[in-house]
Structure 1
Amino acid sequence: MQQDVWGLISPGKTHLTANRTESVERAMSILSAFSTQRPSMSLAELAEETGLHKSTILRLTNSMDIYGFIRRDKDGRFSVGPSVWRLGLIFRRDFTKREHVAPSLKILVEATGETASFYVRNGNERICLYRENSPNLLRFHVEEGMRLRLSTGASGLVLSHFSGEDVGDLSKFNKNGTASSVGHTNPNISSIATPVFDGSGNLMGALTVSGLVNRFDEEARANAIPLLESLARGLSSG
């Protein structure tokens, strides 16, 4: 269990440090603890995951429940509330629309037989905003909303590099900024990803294709890159 760094702060006060509101950060750490792999948690599990005291979690979640961000069922387990979904819909609509991205994902799946995804950056993580899964029974299955480490995978390389971070060895990128990764996230998975920009040249996300290493091999990845880059350019100009 992590040390509760918030325990140094008086519970009845909102403590400000360097333009940061720590009570808000504590609430955000609770929301960030949930994932598709762990959609609900007990009070003890939340305390272990966040490093917050149970009393702090109860106080914050009572307020978050009022605004629909947290729910607690009859068994005492916590989960995210409907307000999170509502904000997610607003984000999707304003950031880049599903109907704008989905056709490109379907084209990639039809052409490669592998899973196609659109990732965006969120702090030190990458989030699968949209996906079209491979029709193959053996596949890299990605759920929309899944959070993965930014330090892994071709999409993580692209999002880090085009956010201005040093990713070390640039040989993983081609001249157009497309990255290739083999066994980086999972030893059985390989992927390619390329950046998508808005009209002002700002990074929107990474268009990605991922598949099993023995099927999505070096030749298959090389064959898929021209289509991937063409579709990314279309999204950027669209």
Structure 2
Amino acid sequence: MASSSLVQGLSLLDATIEQERRARPGLNASRLAEHTGIERSRASRLTQELRARQFLRRDDDARFSAGPEFFRTAAALNVAWLRSSRVALRALASQLGVNALITVADGTRGVLLRFERSADGSDRSIRDGLVTPIWCTGAGRALLWDHSPEQLDALLADVQFIGVGGPTAGRSTEDVRAMLARDRADGLISAAEEYDEGIDEFALPIRREGAVIASLAVRGRHRPKGATRAARELLTQFAHELTAAADTL
């Protein structure tokens, strides 16, 4: 899947914030392009857009730092359930030996909001802001838990299914609808080798006042027998706890 402006913009923003976290001087547009692997002219255009939206600011030496809108957004996201998610993610990663993910919806895509890697750190594709298809990942499909057939038809009407995902990925809206029906009946989203061959994802929605606001997922090596009992119990426990935290707002 081609990199989107959202992913590239998040990469530039993340690289800028990482410099500040390490108490290092900011990077100019050229250095940001080198650091993120984004073509220079595109990096220049994206940094201009991020400045216009006040996510970045530039000093007299043309070096970038976080702008006021970044901090406003961060403050809005720093709510109880999201703070609590760090504990849940670490527990899932350490106890199950998997990657643990918090994902939110962006149209037909899921955007990785927070994550914790397994101890072996083998999956280096996991990163903040990672964008994946919403229909063929466990984390993404949990975000569709409440969608009616009509809502799925409208959301996925223009999706290009062919060529996206792993060997068991859905190839039509009807496939996605059937997978959702199966998973709802089982009480757990199970995406076995749907996005990456040899990788499974299991997930549940996080809710606020009944509405799905995010998903909690674990991602690890394929298991022919599906999710373990421990994975089911821990996902259920933490999805309930995060939902309860969200409902206290």
Smaller-chain TM-score range? 0.5 to 0.7
Change (3 A) 1:196 1:30: closer
Change (3 A) 1:85 1:162: same
Question: Residue 69 of structure 1 corresponds to which residue in structure 2?
Answer: 55
* C-alpha distance after superposition, 1:122-151 (max 9, x if no partner): 222211111111001434652122222212
Alignment partner of 1:191 is 2:177: no
Change (3 A) 1:85 1:145: farther
Question: Residue 134 of structure 1 corresponds to which residue in structure 2?
Answer: 118
The amino acid that maps onto 1:92 is L
The amino acid that maps onto 2:221 is L
Partner of 2:9, secondary structure, is: coil
Question: Residue 139 of structure 2 corresponds to which residue in structure 1?
Answer: 155
Report if the CA contact (8 A) 2:51-2:67 is conserved: no
**How high is the sequence identity, in percent, across the aligned residues?**
18
Note the C-alpha offset of 1:228: 0.7
* C-alpha distance after superposition, 1:158-188 (max 9, x if no partner): 1123344433213540436421012212112
Question: Residue 85 of structure 1 corresponds to which residue in structure 2?
Answer: 70
* C-alpha distance after superposition, 1:208-229 (max 9, x if no partner): 000122xxx1446132112211
Question: Residue 228 of structure 2 corresponds to which residue in structure 1?
Answer: 222
Larger Rg: 1
**Structure of greater relative contact order (alpha carbons < 8 Å, 6+ residues apart):** 2
Change (3 A) 1:137 1:88: same
Change (3 A) 1:138 1:121: same
Partner of 2:115, secondary structure, is: strand
Aligned length: 193
Q: Tell me how large the CA RMSD over aligned residues is.
A: 3.6
The amino acid that maps onto 1:159 is L
Question: Residue 188 of structure 2 corresponds to which residue in structure 1?
Answer: 178
Report if the CA contact (8 A) 1:41-1:79 is conserved: no
The amino acid that maps onto 1:227 is L
Which consecutive unaligned segments of at least 5 residues does structure 1 have? 1-28, 48-56
Partner of 1:160, secondary structure, is: coil
* Separation in 1, partners of 2:201, 2:124: 10
* Separation in 2, partners of 1:231, 1:133: 17
* C-alpha distance after superposition, 1:19-41 (max 9, x if no partner): xxxxxxxxxx9556534498464
TM-score normalised by L of structure 1: 0.65
The amino acid that maps onto 1:99 is R
Q: Which runs of 4+ in 1 moved over 6 A?
A: none
